[in-house]
């Protein structure tokens, strides 16, 4: 990686330990009651954001069962490059194999269980446990265990494999022994939308990590609406903050913006049609598996990128894209990710739950792999708008966490423009109902 920014609001805390069986049954009953009485278009009740037992159920019900976004192939370009992905108490190694493939392995030594890799990213020859030096190949196979007994079979003690799927350069993980099959159908929907941006031929220009002081669902809910976008002055220079509003919902002070966005969207769609670039909105954010919403939105000003004027931030087009004015390809996937796909760069966002009140948000900016920092782009400028936007969002999430854990909290109504928030919460509620069934 060229550069990594770690911003930690507070020291990380471990996930709640699994509860004893009796407590577990009681907490499941409690969860059932809360899910059953959840009303559509109304925020979730406090325990969904604050109860360590419900957090443990979220991990078991969502992250142990469904596909989630982990990283892009640009983060592990060379054989031996790895990233570790932590979700609650789970840790997964994603490592590039010698043949260019990606291996996903449990980051748990098969001897006495020590964490094998403790860095968030890096490069290794083999995977060596720091405790007694059991040594694993990049495919997870055990290649050395000193002083093991004569009847010891190393073939039985490779690092446990996790299901992974790479779609247009985006790597997804599923921790379930039998992953849900319908994700492949969702992947077929978004692959043609992402492919023109050619992620396999990008490199990481910058990565930002923020530990947000809020439950992972608050992070996702915040991302799914632009009702709060007046709080993003830098973003508002190029991003039409009337996103998601119908004409009759547009507030007075945003009428001009809304009209500009309608014209710009019309023009963008004609341009995309000419080039054969997909722009069609696909809206199924609470569908069965990895709920999805994608579409291509025009940008304000020059219409090219997330800068103060809308002008490009990297001089190198991605892949074989024909034009810089392709607006913002926006992709939302449940449960934990969103993406902005532009002609000059791609930004991936992943939310990884840490505990009931902490979430790691990892944002990665990708540019053409032959773009040179200081020549074709400046990492500082490339990342300015979304670094600011993310910090502002972390502030909103922190404020909300504090309010929803106050005994004075009563869940309030979503407005129509928060339909994607309702869709996320509804997706979550339905998946959790399946989990406790």
Shortest CB 91 distance to ligand FES, Å: 14
- Of 338 and 427, nearer to ligand 3BY (C-beta) is 338
- Answer yes or no: are the C-beta atoms of 234 and 385 closer than 8 Å: yes
112 binds ligand FES (CB under 6 A): yes
- Answer yes or no: are the C-beta atoms of 108 and 237 closer than 8 Å: no
131 binds ligand FES (CB under 6 A): yes
**Which range touches ligand 3BY (CB under 6 A), out of 97-105, 222-230, 269-277, 421-429?**
222-230
Helix (H) or strand (E) holding 144: strand 142-144
Q: What track of x and - describes contact with ligand 3BY for positions 294 through 333 (by CB under 6 A)?
A: ------------------------------------x---
Shortest CB 115 distance to ligand FES, Å: 9
Q: ∠ CA(233), CA(260), CA(239), 5° rounding?
A: 30
**Which range touches ligand FES (CB under 6 A), out of 70-78, 124-132, 259-267, 280-288?**
124-132
226 binds ligand 3BY (CB under 6 A): yes
**Which range touches ligand 3BY (CB under 6 A), out of 40-48, 105-113, 141-149, 221-229?**
221-229
Shortest CB 134 distance to ligand FES, Å: 4
Shortest CB 146 distance to ligand FES, Å: 9
The span from the CA of 29 to the CA of 23, in Å, is 10
223 binds ligand 3BY (CB under 6 A): yes
The span from the CA of 50 to the CA of 407, in Å, is 11
Tell me which of ligand 3BY, ligand FES, none is bound by residue 229, counting a contact when its beta carbon lies within the kind-specific cut-off of 5 to 8 angstroms.
ligand 3BY
Shortest CB 59 distance to ligand FES, Å: 24
Shortest CB 338 distance to ligand 3BY, Å: 5
- Of 115 and 311, nearer to ligand FES (C-beta) is 115
DSSP secondary structure letters along 205-268: EEEEEEEESS-HHHHHHHHT--TTGGG-TTGGGTS-TTTT--GGG--GGGHHHHHHHHHHHHHH
The residues with which 209 forms a beta bridge, in sequence order, are 6, 362
**Residue whose pair of structure tokens reads 């159920």 in the numeric block:** 57
The residues with which 5 forms a beta bridge, in sequence order, are 208
Tell me which of ligand FES, ligand 3BY, none is bound by residue 321, counting a contact when its beta carbon lies within the kind-specific cut-off of 5 to 8 angstroms.
none
Cβ neighbours around 234 below 10 Å, total: 17
C-alpha Rg value of the chain to the nearest Å: 22
Per CB under 6 A, the list member of 157, 338, 377, 424 interacting with ligand 3BY is: 338
106 binds ligand FES (CB under 6 A): no
The residues with which 96 forms a beta bridge, in sequence order, are 102
- Answer yes or no: are the C-beta atoms of 346 and 366 closer than 8 Å: yes
The residues with which 377 forms a beta bridge, in sequence order, are 314, 373
- Of 330 and 400, nearer to ligand 3BY (C-beta) is 330
Per CB under 6 A, the list member of 102, 105, 109, 294 interacting with ligand FES is: 109
**Which range touches ligand FES (CB under 6 A), out of 112-120, 148-156, 238-246, 380-388?**
112-120
Cβ neighbours around 254 below 10 Å, total: 18
- Of 116 and 368, nearer to ligand FES (C-beta) is 116
Tell me which of ligand 3BY, ligand FES, none is bound by residue 109, counting a contact when its beta carbon lies within the kind-specific cut-off of 5 to 8 angstroms.
ligand FES
Shortest CB 27 distance to ligand 3BY, Å: 33
Cβ neighbours around 135 below 10 Å, total: 17
Write a three-state SS string for 321-339. Answer: CCCCCCCEEEEEECCCEEE
Nearest to 425 by CA among 41, 49, 70: 41
Burial (CB < 10 A; 0-12, 13-18, 19+), residue 72, is buried
Contact residues: ligand FES, CB under 6 A: 109, 111-114, 129, 131-134
Q: Which residues bind ligand 3BY (CB under 6 A)?
A: 223, 226, 229, 243, 330, 338
């Amino acid at each position: 990686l060229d550069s990594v920014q770690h911003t930690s609001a507070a020291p990380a805390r471990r996930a709640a330990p699994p509860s004893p069986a009796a407590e577990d049954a009681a907490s499941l009953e409690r969860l059932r009651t809360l899910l059953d009485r959840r009303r559509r278009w109304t925020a979730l009740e406090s325990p969904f954001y604050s109860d360590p037992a419900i957090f443990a159920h979220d991990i078991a019900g969502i992250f142990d069962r469904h596909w989630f976004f982990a990283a892009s192939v640009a983060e592990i370009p060379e054989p031996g490059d790895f990233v570790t992905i932590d979700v609650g108490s789970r840790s997964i190694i994603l490592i590039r194999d010698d043949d260019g493939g990606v291996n996903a392995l449990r980051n748990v030594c098969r001897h006495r269980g020590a964490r094998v890799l403790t860095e968030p990213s890096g490069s290794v020859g083999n995977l060596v446990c720091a405790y007694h030096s059991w040594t694993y190949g990049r495919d997870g196979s055990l290649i050395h265990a000193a002083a093991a007994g004569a009847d010891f079979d190393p073939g039985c003690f490779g690092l446990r494999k996790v299901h992974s799927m790479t779609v247009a350069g985006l790597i997804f993980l599923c921790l379930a022994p039998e992953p849900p099959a319908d994700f492949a159908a969702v992947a077929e929907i978004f692959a043609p939308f992402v492919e023109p941006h050619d992620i396999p031929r990008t490199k990481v220009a910058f990565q930002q990590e923020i530990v947000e002081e809020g439950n992972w669902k608050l992070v996702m809910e915040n991302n799914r609406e632009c009702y709060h976008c007046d709080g993003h002055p830098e973003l508002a220079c190029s991003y039409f903050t009337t996103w998601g509003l119908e004409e009759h919902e547009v507030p007075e002070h945003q009428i001009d913006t809304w009209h500009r966005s309608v014209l710009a969207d019309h023009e963008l769609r004609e341009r995309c049609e000419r080039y054969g670039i997909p722009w069609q909105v696909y809206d199924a954010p609470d569908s069965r598996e990895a709920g999805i919403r994608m579409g291509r939105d025009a940008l304000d000003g020059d219409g090219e990128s997330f800068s103060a004027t809308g002008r490009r931030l990297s001089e190198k087009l991605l892949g074989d894209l024909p034009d810089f004015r392709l607006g913002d390809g926006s992709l939302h996937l449940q449960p934990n990710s969103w993406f902005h796909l532009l002609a000059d760069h791609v930004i991936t966002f992943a939310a990884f739950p840490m505990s009931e009140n902490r979430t790691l948000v990892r944002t990665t900016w990708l540019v053409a792999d032959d773009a040179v920092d200081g020549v074709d782009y400046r990492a500082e400028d490339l990342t300015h708008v979304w670094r600011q936007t993310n910090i502002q969002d972390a502030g909103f999430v922190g404020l909300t966490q504090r309010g929803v854990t106050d005994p004075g909290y009563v869940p309030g109504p979503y407005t129509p423009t928060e339909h994607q928030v309702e869709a996320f919460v509804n997706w979550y509620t339905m998946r959790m109902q399946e989990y406790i069934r």
